[in-house]
Structure 1
Amino acid sequence: MKVEPVKDTLFIEEAADIFLNQQVRFLPVVNDFGKFLGIVTQKALFRVITKVYGLEDAKIVIHSDDFAGTLLKISDVIYKHGANITNIAQMDTEVMGIQEISIRLVGDNLEKLPEKLQAKGIKVKEFIPAKNN
């Protein structure tokens, strides 16, 4: 099977989609002029994804049935707590319109953040402390 080259401007999620749907082991990468720059392997892609997601950082998982405006409420509480968001991912749970919002954070006293969020009516499903603690 011939593997078509991808541009060096390809987004991570697009590369993941190619790996998933075309069942290839690597992707040749070229620039705008078609010059070969190297390859991306599945392992390299997963390494980037784990770096982007900040797997060492603390994580709060929130369930929301009213997604509009929820991120503003959440980020306001996080800001006032003095924490910083390193990543946000949202997923439809496909259960009665509930959205799952996964937030990676850095900061001090993050274990107190779920209580502050719940006090604002935000449903915290789970809190996972940072791995480096």
Structure 2
Amino acid sequence: MLVKAIMIPFNQLRCLSVDNTLEEALIIIEENRLLSLPVVDGKQFIGVLSKENLYEEYFKNYCGQSKIEFLNNKVKNMVKTKIMTINQELPIQDAAAIFITSKYRFIPIIDNTNNLLGIVTHQSIFKEYQKIFGDRVNELTIYNCNFKGTIAKMTDTIAKAGGNIKNIVLMDSNVMNLEEIHLSIDCKDFEKVVKALKKNSFNVRTPRIDDK
């Protein structure tokens, strides 16, 4: 899945203008109960302004001035412009990796003319992964050495044991060339499915039974 499928589009975003004063910016941030917002000039993405950075800037460089003088500054003078942006065709797993290794609260999505198309957030990615792995379902993980025909044999074993695969996710375990295969399975007798897989020499780990 690509980030364009889960992004918050520009027309639904609350953005700051480069011509807003810092006072106006703080009011908008507070009213929307956010910590930071994108800054635009028309539709052109300029950067990000965060409440944290504003406080840091004030106490570091403007403490001798009045608050009124500081708050009358324009957003364009305080915006953080060195922000990572992404293309709307980026896979969501790559966006998730950016969040893991950074402190970004959201990632701006721009086109090839630097227009802001939207943003992707932690929450939107988490919701998609939750859909993949399911909620309160029969789950298990199989470690696989990527031998030819293994996936076909595994799905056939599950079907014969009365299981129906709802979701399947393949991940590299980064250990001895093993793949992790995460499955959520709909069935009447989950233990029967697990036993059938083990009987057919599958390395089954961490089965979780839906007990609702």
TM-score surpassing 0.5? yes
Say yes or no: does 1:83 pair with 2:168.
Answer: no
Identical amino acids, percent of aligned pairs: 25
- Partner residue, 1:67: 146
Q: Name the aligned partner's letter for residue 71 of structure 1.
A: I
**What's the Cα RMSD here?**
2.6
- Partner residue, 1:27: 107
Counting only pairs closer than 5 Å after superposition, residues 12-23 of structure 1 correspond to structure 2 as 12-23=92-103
Q: Name the aligned partner's letter for residue 75 of structure 1.
A: T
Q: TM-score, structure 1 length as denominator?
A: 0.76
Distance 1:27 1:97, change over 3 A: closer
Spell out, residue by residue over 1:59-108, the C-alpha distance to the aligned partner (whole angstroms, 9 max, x if none).
112234x43132222111122224124122333262x5554432222233
Counting only pairs closer than 5 Å after superposition, residues 1-133 of structure 1 correspond to structure 2 as 1=80, 2-31=82-111, 34-64=114-144, 66-68=145-147, 69-80=149-160, 81-92=162-173, 94=175, 98-130=178-210, 133=212
Structure 1 runs of 4+ with >6 Å offset: none
**Structure 1 residue 11: Cα displacement:** 0.9
SS at match of 2:152: helix
5+ residue gaps, structure 2, are 1-79
Q: Name the aligned partner's letter for residue 169 of structure 2.
A: I
CA distance in 1, matches of 2:146, 2:194: 18
- State which drifts further: 24-33 or 11-20: 24-33
Q: Name the aligned partner's letter for residue 37 of structure 1.
A: L
CA distance in 2, matches of 1:92, 1:40: 26
Q: Name the aligned partner's letter for residue 19 of structure 1.
A: F
Distance 1:100 1:10, change over 3 A: closer
Distance 1:84 1:30, change over 3 A: same
CA distance in 1, matches of 2:195, 2:167: 20
* Count of residue pairs the alignment pairs up: 130
SS at match of 2:90: coil
Distance 1:3 1:52, change over 3 A: farther
The structure having more radius of gyration, on CA atoms, is 2
**Structure 1 residue 129: Cα displacement:** 1.3
Task: Considering Cα pairs closer than 8 Å and 6+ residues apart, tell me whether 1 or 2 has the greater RCO.
Answer: 1
SS at match of 1:6: coil
Distance 1:85 1:32, change over 3 A: farther
